[in-house]
Amino acid sequence: MSPWRRAWSRFRGNRFALAAAVVVAALALAALAAPALAPADPLAQPDPVGLQNLPPSAEFPLGTDRFSRDVMSRLLYGARVSLGIGAVAALLAVTIGAGVGLAAGLASPLVDQALMRGVDVALALPRVFLILLVLALWEGAPAGAVVALIAATGWFQTSRVVRALALRLREAEFVQAARALGAGRGHLVLRHFLPHLAPAVVVSATLDVGNIILLESGLSYLGLGVKPPAPSWGNMILEGKDQILTAPWVALAPGLALLVTVLAFNLAGDGLRDAFDPRAAR
Amino acid sequence: MSGPVGAGGGPQPPPRPADNGPAMAPGPAPLLEIADLRVTFATEEGVARAVDGVDLVVRSGETVGLVGESGCGKSVTALAVLRLVEHPGHIAHGSRVRFEGRDLLALAERDIRAVRGNHLGLIFQEPASALNPVLTIGSQIAEVIRAHQHATRSEARWRAIEMLRAVGIPDAEKRAGHYPHQLSGGMRQRALIAIALACRPHLLIADEPTTALDVTIQAEILELLDGLQRSLGMAVLLITHNLGLVAERTRRVYVMYGGQIVEEAPTDALFAAPAHPYTRGLMAAVPRLDSPRERLAAIPGQVPPATAWPPACRFHPRCPLAFERCTTEMPPLLAAGEARKARCWLANSRTVGRADERTDAPTQAGLREPGGQGS
């Protein structure tokens, strides 16, 4: 049985992880199919006076907000934004982190030290404030810039993990053996390093998605992430907070969605970690 | 390029070195010739001279032993031959490793890679860890073949299965698709041998090939290696701490201590009468079935760290025969009889006398008595 299949069978045995994975998959599908699923246009304001802050009903499953927009539709489209930013930024961050970590782990000690001290410095910077500063100064920053910022400040931990693994792999006897058989550096990295790094990177990426969604929502809540009227879960909570007592559904819906999503990603990530852990009990 | 060359193309081995006169320079050009090999490691305690001026020769088709305790520099020597010594380690200038007429230490990276695993195979001692756990056995063999020879994916796979068959793995087609953890220790070692021999090397360096295995499996693996060696006509440099193995399997032996060769001799002659006190100590430490039970002799003291070799003769603090000269002057490898040398000031005076005196001198761990007593 291949290591991947073994991990899968272990993952399958973990109820929480499996449920989390199902939730993640459902969320991803919902986000992808938002145009088909959404009952209404997320930006349309059919009647800002007559249909304002309606409670959930058959017509508006999650009610309407104060501009009479359908909360359900906004939630679905918001999922695209939140999950999209989370996935893209996490992928970017993990790629950079794995690249830097691998480079540090394979390079001469001098380069390694230089890279890792750089990472130490970067880790000492307060990430959120750094992002806030840039976004505050850069008015009207596009979503791409937000993604880039999050990715650029989110790869440090991954690089450390990957470097540590690479250093260990370098000493591994099977890597020595491969070198003794004439394997070049490229071959070593592709065939012998990557398959062993992949689990750590996948776990890292999964946990990152959850954290980044949370971070992006925080930024949007502060009005610095995704700008209204485009819906994101963060700015939906922001818009709903003033009516939290009169029309709680407006803020609660995205809030709960956020909670469930982040929880699902974290549980799935933990489940993956356990599934890949060679020491985990069978 | 062509098949096994220089091996005499058959099971007929070259004449035994004992009859061959001086085993050093003359004769056919050696397959592997190590000269003044020095490997240093920069450590926090200072510079460790792990290998310090080793000269060693392996000829086509012959089996040579390299024995010594842990930490004497055997494995580093093997790694240095393939230029696999890693960062804190450094192969000193002036070291020479010639293989099939080429100076391996001077080759470009790309060219040395073409030698590794191709004409020069290496087997590691831990079959459990020398195989990549996430790749199938078959693909690990096919990989080497494809790295060194023009072969399509399916050709390589087919040859990998052939190779698994050759090393005695039953049901080879199925096994080729298995992962290392699905094989037993002995099977894994067979698979490793299959990998090392996949490109039909002219020289195989086997670093403790059986240390990690059960005794019964050890014998099987050694038989297998013997058979393959004969059919492929390759030479083997057998690195081990196991004197019994050396006695059974090799024609010539080098004994290493403290990063240096301290004795070199035809196997029979070595076991008949070790010329270096260290060799004698090693042999005395081997338990024997044919002698009354008594406390095993041990060499007093420990191998000193490679950062602080004793001055002059490196063995003198542990040597029962040491005298003043041993503490002030490093003995060179002195001739100690026919085709043999020992790094000991007493090399000449002692060889014959001691063997006579100690009639209980350990011979080949329970094997036949060598015919010629004196060398």
The per-residue DSSP string of chain A comes to --HHHHHHHHHHT-HHHHHHHHHHHHHHHHHHTHHHH-SS-TT--S-TTTTTTPPP-SSSTT-B-TT--BHHHHHHHHHHHHHHHHHHHHHHHHHHHHHHHHHHHHS-HHHHHHHHHHHHHHHHS-HHHHHHHHHHHSTT--HHHHHHHHHHTS-HHHHHHHHHHHHHHHH-HHHHHHHHTT--HHHIIIIIIHHHHHHHHHHHHHHHHHHHHHHHHHHHHTTSSSPTTS--HHHHHHHHGGGTTT-THHHHHHHHHHHHHHHHHHHHHHHHHHHH-TTS--
Q: Which residue of A has its CA nearest to B111?
A: A182
* pTM of the predicted structure, to 2 decimals: 0.74
Distance between CA atoms of residues B148 and A216, nearest Å: 51
Print the SS3 string covering chain B.
CCCCCCCCCCCCCCCCHHHCCCCCCCCCCCCEEEEEEEEEEEECCEEEEEEEEEEEEECCCCEEEEECCCCCCHHHHHHHHCCCCCCCEEECCCCEEEECCEEHHHCCHHHHHHHECCCEEEECCCCCCCCCCCCCHHHHHHHHHHHHCCCCHHHHHHHHHHHHHHCCCCCHHHHHCCCHHHCCHHHHHHHHHHHHHCCCCCEEEEECCCCCCCHHHHHHHHHHHHHHHHHHCCEEEEEECCHHHHHHHCCEEEEEECCEEEEEEEHHHHHHCCCCHHHHHHHHCCCCCCCCCCCCCCCCCCCCCCCCCCCCCCCHHHCCCCCHHHHHCCCCCEECCCCCEECCCCHHHHHHHHHHHCCCCCCCCCCCCCCCCCC
CA-to-CA separations, B297 to A246, B282, B283, in angstroms, rounded: 92, 9, 9
Q: How confident is the model at residue B220 (pLDDT cuts 50, 70, 90)?
A: confident
Pairing of strands B341-342, B260-266: antiparallel
Q: Give the count of alpha carbons within 13 A of B181, CB side only.
A: 8
> In a mutagenesis test of the B interface, which of A106, A174, A197 is the best target, namely the one with the most B β-carbons within 10 Å?
A174
Distance between CA atoms of residues A127 and A153, nearest Å: 6
* pLDDT value, residue A280: 53
* pLDDT value, residue B22: 41
Q: In angstroms, how far is CA B70 from the centroid of its own chain?
A: 13
**Beta carbons of A157 and A116 less than 8 angstroms apart:** no
CB-CB neighbors (< 8 A) of A182 in chain B:
113-118, 144, 147-148
Number of CB atoms found within 10 A of residue B352's CB = 17
Size of interface A-B (CB pairs under 8 A): 72
Q: Which two tokens stand for residue A187?
A: 């071959």
Distance between CA atoms of residues B46 and B23, nearest Å: 37
Quick one: average pLDDT of B172-196? 88
**Beta carbons of B206 and B239 less than 8 angstroms apart:** yes
Cα A169–Cα B148–Cα B144 angle in degrees, nearest 5? 45
Does the structure show a pLDDT above 70 at B371?
A: no
Below-50 pLDDT ranges, chain A: 281-282
- Print burial letters for A81-115: b (CB count within 10 Å at least 16), e (below 16): bbbbbbbbbbebbbebbbebbbbbbbeeeeebeeb
**Beta carbons of A177 and B129 less than 8 angstroms apart:** no
CB contact under 8 A, B113 and A192: no
Does the structure show a pLDDT above 90 at B253?
A: yes
**Beta carbons of B354 and B365 less than 8 angstroms apart:** no
CB contact under 8 A, B84 and A176: yes
Q: Give the count of alpha carbons within 13 A of A5, CB side only.
A: 4
**Beta carbons of B343 and B263 less than 8 angstroms apart:** yes
Distance between CA atoms of residues A107 and A101, nearest Å: 10
Distance between CA atoms of residues B332 and A26, nearest Å: 77
CB-nearest partner of A3 from B117, B130, B134: B134
CB contact under 8 A, A182 and B147: yes
- Please indicate whether residue B26 or residue A3 has the higher confidence score (pLDDT): A3
Q: Which residue of B has its CA nearest to A109?
A: B87
Residue closest to B87 by CA, chosen among A175, A108, A186 = A108
Distance between CA atoms of residues A260 and A273, nearest Å: 20
Does the structure show a pLDDT above 50 at B9?
A: no
**Beta carbons of A17 and A271 less than 8 angstroms apart:** yes
Residue closest to B117 by CA, chosen among B224, B205, B3 = B205
Measured between alpha carbons, how far apart are the two ends of chain A, in Å? Answer: 14
Distance between CA atoms of residues B163 and B169, nearest Å: 9
Q: How confident is the model at residue B262 (pLDDT cuts 50, 70, 90)?
A: very high
**Beta carbons of A119 and A153 less than 8 angstroms apart:** no
> In a mutagenesis test of the A interface, which of B113, B144, B199 is the best target, namely the one with the most A β-carbons within 10 Å?
B113
- Crossing angle, helix B185-197 and helix B215-232, to 10 degrees? 20
**Beta carbons of B130 and A175 less than 8 angstroms apart:** no
CB contact under 8 A, B118 and A192: no
Distance between CA atoms of residues B23 and B266, nearest Å: 9
CB contact under 8 A, B133 and A187: no
**Beta carbons of A53 and A247 less than 8 angstroms apart:** yes
Q: How confident is the model at residue B4 (pLDDT cuts 50, 70, 90)?
A: very low
**Beta carbons of B101 and B29 less than 8 angstroms apart:** yes
* pLDDT value, residue B10: 41
The predicted-structure confidence for B38-69, as pLDDT tens digits, reads as follows: 999 998 888 999 999 999 999 998 999 999 88
* pLDDT value, residue B362: 42
* pLDDT value, residue A56: 76
Chain A interface with B: residues with Cβ < 8 Å: 1-3, 108-109, 170, 172-174, 176-184, 187, 191-192, 195-196
Does the structure show a pLDDT above 50 at B366?
A: no
Distance between CA atoms of residues B242 and B69, nearest Å: 9
The predicted-structure confidence for B120-157, as pLDDT tens digits, reads as follows: 998 887 777 888 888 899 999 998 898 888 888 889 99
Q: Which residue of A has its CA nearest to B141?
A: A181
* pLDDT value, residue B300: 81
Q: Which residue of A has its CA nearest to B120?
A: A181
CB contact under 8 A, A173 and B126: yes
Q: Which residue of A has its CA nearest to B199?
A: A181
